[in-house]
Amino acid sequence: MGYPTRLLGDGETIEFEMKPHWRGLILPVLWLILTVFVGTWLYVSLGNWSWTADGFLETIGRPIILGVGAIILIVWVVRPFAMWVTTQYVFTNRRIITRAGVIAKKGRDMPLAKVNNVSFEVGVVGRLLNYGRLQITSASDEDLIIDDVPNVEVIQRDVYRLHEEDDERRRRRSINEGGDPVPPNDGT
């Protein structure tokens, strides 16, 4: 499910969009496998234990096993998977958009015109799995930090490219409107 184009401004186009890196699903999958395996084993073998011969523990034990298993699945499997599915990082020709949330939504937009610096951080595991943290410094807002960005070095380069293209677009618009041309920013 892509970002809705009806939420874009006039002349704004999506350059690329992504979800967090797939490694965010490793622990939920492990919890799913462990919970199903251990829960099934406990549920099936509960009646075979000698100290449960009277059947009382079997009668209350199975619903408890099912309840605990359901709670584990909801908290450590379904919730993280739903958060991963509903998190989006969208890069347009004018801004950077982040959206996350299953029921309640949280989002942030940063105009490319306000971007001062784009840096990344990749740890040891990130180098192996090709993901990292992208930090975008703004001229006026607090930094935008995006964790678990796949191909973070490529994304950093692309954000710089989009920033330069946005600057060029704004310069052309300023010249076309009869204003004085904006001198290029040479970093001094």
Instruction: Output the pLDDT for position 180.
Output: 56
Q: What is the mean pLDDT of the chain?
A: 89
Q: Choose the weakest-confidence range: 26-30, 57-61, 127-131, 141-145.
A: 57-61
Q: Which two tokens stand for residue 76?
A: 């450590």
Q: Choose the weakest-confidence range: 4-13, 31-40, 165-174, 177-186.
A: 177-186
Dihedrals phi, psi of 73, to nearest 5 degrees: -65, -40
Fold that domain 5-20+87-176 belongs to in CATH: PH-domain like (2.30.29)
Closest CA to 155 of 19, 25, 26: 19
DSSP 51-69: GGTTSHHHHHHHHHHHHHH
Closest CA to 42 of 61, 29, 24, 60: 61
Instruction: Output the pLDDT for position 86.
Output: 94
Instruction: Output the pLDDT for position 4.
Output: 86
* DSSP one-letter code for 181: P
| Of 98 and 181, more confident | 98
Rounded to whole angstroms, the Cα distance separating 56 from 76 reads 30
Q: CA-based Rg of the chain, rounded to a whole angstrom?
A: 25
Its pTM surpasses 0.85: no
Q: Which residue has the tokens 């692309």?
A: 158
Query: What are the sequence ranges of the domains in the chain?
Result: 5-20+87-176, 25-84
Q: Mean per-residue pLDDT for 40-51?
A: 78
| Of 122 and 172, more confident | 122
